[in-house]
Copies of this chain bind each other. A is one copy, B any other.
Amino acid sequence: MTSFPTSIGTSDASTIRLLGQDLAADLMGHVGFGELAFWLVAQRRPTPSEVRVFEAVLVALADHGFTPTAIAARLTYLSAPESLQGALAAGLLGGGSRFLGVTEDCGRFLADTLAAVDGPLPTDDAGFDDLARDAVSVARSARRLVPGLGHPVHKTEDPRTPVLIRIAEEEKLRGPHLRLFEAIGRVHPEVLGRTLPLNGAGVCGAALADLGLPVDLLRGFALLARAAGLLGHLAEERRTPIGMDVYLTVDRNATYTTPDPS
């Protein structure tokens, strides 16, 4: 018979074990929710410093007002108010390449750049600047965007970026991913010919990568953070709904055009 291995959780008649701990005796009341989320993915308990940086990332990513995902969740709640899980899921399904993907893309770009270094990593800013200059040049030659650069609203500086770097520094967790990201901020104008801000989604990816979290799953933390923001939107939709007005605004301003055969 096939067996199904897991190191997450088990339970029997009197005990629930999670991550090798007794859930009721050792975790409830002793472990924060962000701390547990880190632990569940990394399979190790984070230090208090790691928790502070990690929760600062989740807080930074939780909400951005009326994003397409928040609007989609509210419209779904309007149509199917009996299924809160459906509205939340609809909102999370927008957590793809364009609106939530930057965190993961940036973490991966930094990790790939660092992994390609032959020999030891740089120890000073000049060394990270050289690395950044090469990485941005290569991306430019390949006509690829550098993830984490630029923002449609925060055109000069994204206020989250310096704050997260400072928190990581305070907690001695400003590692090579963040340092390379900062170096990209310094050197990209000379390569690209214009100055762009380091955005908040990107700095979050750099910080998560410095925490040792798997780069392939960074989008997952953005989704977890956004789940809290979406709950806030759904709670507000319940109190002061906008979904019907969104629908009517679109429907009443629809203009019919002749079909255009593909």
Measuring CB to CB, which residues of chain A are less than 8 angstroms from any residue of chain B? 1-20, 22-25, 27-29, 31-34, 36-37, 40-44, 52, 55-56, 58-60, 62-69, 71-72, 75-76, 78-90, 92-101, 153-157, 159-160, 162-164, 167, 170, 200, 212-214, 216-217, 219-221, 223-225, 227-229, 231-236, 238-240, 242-243, 245-251, 253-262
Contact A92 B96 (CB under 8 A): no
CB neighbours (8 Å) of A67 from chain B are 79, 247, 251
Q: When chains A and B are docked, how far (Å) is the Cα of A166 from the Cα of B96?
A: 40
Instruction: Decide: B14 and A154 in contact? CB cutoff 8 A.
Output: yes
The residue in A5, A15, A90 that gathers the most chain B C-beta atoms within 10 A of its C-beta is A90
A sample of 21 inter-chain contacts (CB < 8 A) reads A2-B248, A5-B257, A8-B233, A9-B229, A10-B65, A11-B65, A25-B159, A27-B59, A43-B261, A65-B254, A68-B78, A71-B247, A78-B98, A79-B98, A80-B93, A80-B97, A83-B86, A89-B92, A220-B231, A220-B234, A246-B246
A246 to chain B, nearest CB (A): 6
Chain B residue nearest to A64 (CB atoms) is: B9
Residues of B within 8 A of A36 (CB): 58-59, 62, 228
Please name all residues of chain B whose beta carbon is closer than 8 Å to the beta carbon of A28 when the two chains form the complex. 56, 59-60, 160, 163-164, 167
A154 CB to closest chain B CB (Å) equals 6
- Expressed in whole angstroms, the Cα–Cα distance for A56 and B56 within the complex equals 20
Q: Count copies of this chain in the complex.
A: 4
Can you name 17 extra interface pairs (CB under 8 A) apart from A20-B258, A80-B83, A85-B223?
A: A3-B254, A3-B255, A6-B66, A8-B65, A14-B156, A14-B157, A20-B259, A33-B37, A36-B58, A66-B251, A68-B247, A75-B94, A82-B97, A84-B219, A89-B89, A221-B231, A224-B227
When chains A and B are docked, how far (Å) is the Cα of A95 from the Cα of B93?
14
A195 to chain B, nearest CB (A): 15
List the B residue with the shortest CB-CB distance to A244. Answer: B68
Contact (Cβ within 8 A) A13 B155: yes
User: For the complex, what is the distance from the CA of A75 to the CA of B93, rounded to whole Å?
Assistant: 10
